[in-house]
Chain A
């Protein structure tokens, strides 16, 4: 991966953290002095390299563990909030920020709310379990449904 694409990727993630939402191509471009077309072309290369996920319009859909669209995994850390793509990513946001975090979701079976606080990487409630349907070999091709 070219250094310029890594810099673009890092700037995209940084803006995502700062904004609490996916940045636009213009917002990232303003940060690194690249035009919107250049950002979009770089994002496409990063998407093809599995470094982030674009939607059909070419905007950010996922910068894992961060989700661009609202999900059932809302994560709070340092009085900021983001959406995560899944339970794994809900833990991942705190891990990426190196911060204690808290998230809430719902049991897909009974719809009960599940709230988890994570301190020093450890959840305060060890009773829930994590289930992944799709085998690891298919994670990328099924990234919207795993």
Chain B
């Protein structure tokens, strides 16, 4: 889960390996806010897989790669 200068840098770093998924940093920021915003709340409750999947879906991260299983 790394940050690269650009997609060209990702491609060079992969050096032919199977890529994972690349998303814009703005999308990552959106995902992080949705995923972590309650982490320090005294009302924190563990999240189910379905609830976590719903966050990914809401951000538009869908498809087999983003399926939590």
**What residues of chain A have their CB less than 8 Å away from a CB belonging to chain B?**
1, 6, 9-10, 13-14, 17, 49-51, 64-65, 85-98, 105, 107-110, 112, 114, 116, 118, 121-123, 125-137, 139, 146
Contact = CB atoms under 8 A, between A and B. Distances in A.
Contact of A136 (B2, B3, B27, B65): B65
B36 A95 contact: yes
Nearest to B17: A133
24 contacts: A13-B39, A86-B2, A89-B1, A91-B32, A92-B35, A95-B32, A105-B2, A107-B5, A108-B9, A110-B9, A116-B25, A122-B26, A123-B29, A128-B6, A129-B3, A130-B2, A132-B1, A132-B2, A133-B19, A133-B20, A135-B67, A136-B56, A136-B65, A136-B69
A123 B40 CA distance: 22
B22 to A, nearest CB: 5
B67 to A, nearest CB: 6
B26 to A, nearest CB: 5
B24 A130 contact: yes
B46 A51 contact: yes
Interface of B: 1-7, 9-10, 12-13, 19-33, 35-37, 39-40, 42, 44-46, 56, 64-69
A6 B45 CA distance: 8
Given A87-B3, A105-B3, A136 B67 contact: yes
B31 A88 contact: yes
- Residue picked from A17, A108, A146, most chain B C-beta under 10 Å: A108
A83 B3 CA distance: 15
Contact of A131 (B21, B44, B45): B21
Given A95-B36, A128-B25, A109 B20 contact: no
